[in-house]
Amino acid sequence: MSKGIFDGLKVCDFMWAAAGPITTKQLSDNGATVVKVESFKHPDSIRLGGPFIDNKPGINRSGFFADFHSSKLGMAVDMSHEDRLDIIRPLVEWADIVADSFRPGTMQKWGLGYEDLKKINPRIIVLSSSLHGATGPWSRHPGYGAQGAALAGIQHMTGWSDRPPATPKGAYSDSVSPRYALTALMAALIHRERTGEGQFVELAQIEATVQLVAPQLLDLQVTGHEAQRSGNRKDGAIQHGVYRCTGDERWIVIECETEIQWRALRETLGAPERLDTARTIGPDSLDEAIAALTAPQDAFELSERLRAAGVPAAVAYKGSDLLEDPILEARDHFWPLHHEEMGTLKYNGPAYRFEKTPTVLRSASPRLGEHTEHVMTDLLGFSEADIAGFRDRGLLG
């Protein structure tokens, strides 16, 4: 079997929640040895977030946590212990990368700031991801993804014009920033390969998310037009919306940008004159007319007929649809991995395919401290007596 593209790369991973672990998952799933370090007195908070397998909460039962931590090793250390560096220092010496997503100042408090780390390992690359970044007046302010999306301008543009701003599903900046973090990290690795120098890479999740609204910011500066909430409408489109179909929470997305698509839509829905009249009256009337025609129809069947007619359309999938989608199945997107407590679950695979170095999800997410002894002995060279001594001192979970 071909080795992953990051085979041989060693990562000391202090990332937590979502923004950080999504970044290091791309490394672990592609061959890197990623050791997730958690404080067993204060484990990753996302372990406490559902959904939980069988709806039974538990520190090792979160599907939310699981999907971000495939192919990683997990070790549990008391990071509040005064002797924590007795374990962490050898881990830093071993690593190529140290990554964290804590509030700036946390790593320094533990004696693990960049200046400390490069004294331990001069070639170390440090990636630090936080909501507001490591500098600036809000650098030490705690933050979360929904707050980040609001401060990046996303919420103001999301929703309907006659209602308050809406919040996109999930912690939006947590989903955006890992893509920039991974790119920056790869650039730092290339730099080190050429020069032998490590470096500190810091990322502000808000600034990463602002990149999404670059077209709207440019429009504002050039024309003075400020983007506003417009529901499901799309500028320049004849029609663009989401409409209910028959069944439990079944919806279809339909868009027409050209007159050819419009004619195909009106013929496929079978009420050309009614739709022409509604279009003349205005977009609200058109949405109502289309919704009345889609309501009694099966979303999947209607989607197929519309696409066959040349109309852009798709079913608004539920999560359960994704797990059974024939296209994703044909591309082997989901990887079934066995977890000792949760059983076999489908994990998200990559959105890309390497021809020469294919991605392999090697293992399910680690239980808290599952690989502590393996990391201590096989990677760091500690003896069984050393480990027993650390446990006696309360350092290991």
- DSSP letters along 42-74, please? B--GGGGSS-BGGG---TT-BHHHHHT-TT-EE
Between CA 165 and CA 390 the distance in angstroms is: 51
Answer yes or no: 174 catalytic: yes
β-pair partners for 354: none
Q: Tokens 């496929």 correspond to what residue?
A: 268
C-alpha closest to that of 200 among 187, 209, 212, 210: 187
- DSSP letters along 77-99, please? E-TTSTTTHHHHHHHHHH-SEEE
Between CA 21 and CA 301 the distance in angstroms is: 38
Between CA 394 and CA 118 the distance in angstroms is: 27
Strand 334-339 versus strand 33-39 pairing type = unpaired
SS (H, E, C) 321-363: HHHHCHHHHHCCCEEEEEECCCEEEEEECCCCCCCCCCCCCCC
Tokens of 320: 């359960």
C-alpha closest to that of 186 among 2, 4, 3, 9: 9
Packed helices 259-269 and 272-281: angle between N→C axes, nearest 10 degrees: 130
Total residues belonging to the chain: 397
Looking at residue 211, what DSSP letter applies?
A: G
Catalytic residue from among 174, 219, 321, 332: 174
Which residues are catalytic, by number?
174
